[in-house]
Structure 1
């Protein structure tokens, strides 16, 4: 086991990561609100965590999510999902990454979204996944949700300009159905699943 000093250093680093991620979420939230979008889940960005002593792997914020809708149409929206560790759900990622994308629901209003969490890498046989360059389309037929998403390495989003360039603008294009424009905006920076799972970035 690590020494007390080492444990405190690791804990402080974890706290710093949470603080920096919060800043990123605040920037995304504010920029989306400026574009007329509103978060569908209030201030919450997590669920499926535990405070039970037998489930320490769920103590940590292994993911964070924000979903936004515009106007009265609450069955269509955009969102971001940050995954630090997907191993609890079958994804052995080597780097933290952000899934950005469009969500369209045939049945329910958008809320917290397991579909956005799984989008682009689901291995469920009932779900249909196709790729178009760096964009991934996933049809969750059982739930009635379709996603169009792309992956970003989290460490490239180190200022507001990059957040606007690689998250906000492409998401708005996806929302408007401008897929080619969105693809062009992220083609030089989006990563594939093989980079997330195997070799890192």
Structure 2
């Protein structure tokens, strides 16, 4: 185990990561609201955590998620998922990344959930993925469809980039303007091979 000072330094760095991520989520949330979208559920961005002493891997916020819909169509929404560590689900990522996507449900209201979290990298024969450039369409067994792309978290260092690389392309995807979305993200979106440790793509 690290020394007392080392543990405190690590803890302080973890707190800084949480604070900076909160700022990013606030910008996304406020901008989506200004575009006429409302967040689903409460203000929480975490689920799948544990406070049990036997499950420390689930103590940390290994991912955060926010999903938005419009009042007139609750079965279609825009979502942003930040993944710090996917190893609990078989993804050995070497960098934190965002999954940005449009979620469509055939029958239920769109909600926060595993669909957006797993979109683009789940490896299951009954969950097909189709790639169109850096856009991926994942179709889940319950009929939920997620059109998504990946971003490295460190490029989102100001409000202008959040709007350019998250808000604008997601609204284009929501409105069915796939080519516009692809053009916006073509130089910044990353592929799974850039996210995972070499040889650990699930």
Aligned match of 2:148: 149
RMSD (Å), alpha carbons: 0.7
Per the TM alignment, residue 196 of structure 1 is displaced from its structure 2 partner at its CA by 0.2
Aligned match of 2:91: 91
SS at match of 2:21: helix
Aligned match of 1:177: 176
Per the TM alignment, residue 111 of structure 1 is displaced from its structure 2 partner at its CA by 1.1
Whether 2:4 is the aligned partner of 1:4: answer yes
* Match runs of 1:110-121 below 5 Å: 110-121=110-121
Per the TM alignment, residue 181 of structure 1 is displaced from its structure 2 partner at its CA by 0.1
* Match runs of 1:126-137 below 5 Å: 126-137=126-137
Question: Gaps (5+ residues) in structure 2?
Answer: none
Per the TM alignment, residue 108 of structure 1 is displaced from its structure 2 partner at its CA by 1.1
Per the TM alignment, residue 143 of structure 1 is displaced from its structure 2 partner at its CA by 1.3
Size of the aligned set, in residue pairs, is 198
TM-score (structure 1 length as normaliser) = 0.97
Question: Gaps (5+ residues) in structure 1?
Answer: none
Per the TM alignment, residue 151 of structure 1 is displaced from its structure 2 partner at its CA by 0.1
Per the TM alignment, residue 198 of structure 1 is displaced from its structure 2 partner at its CA by 3.1
What is the CA deviation profile of residues 153-172 of structure 1, one whole-angstrom value per residue up to 9, with x for unaligned ones? 00000000000000000000
SS at match of 1:184: helix
SS at match of 1:110: coil
What is the CA deviation profile of residues 60-83 of structure 1, one whole-angstrom value per residue up to 9, with x for unaligned ones? 000000000012211001110000
Superposition misfits of 4+ residues, deviation over 6 angstroms: none
Per the TM alignment, residue 105 of structure 1 is displaced from its structure 2 partner at its CA by 0.3
In structure 2, distance between residues paired with 1:47 and 1:72: 27
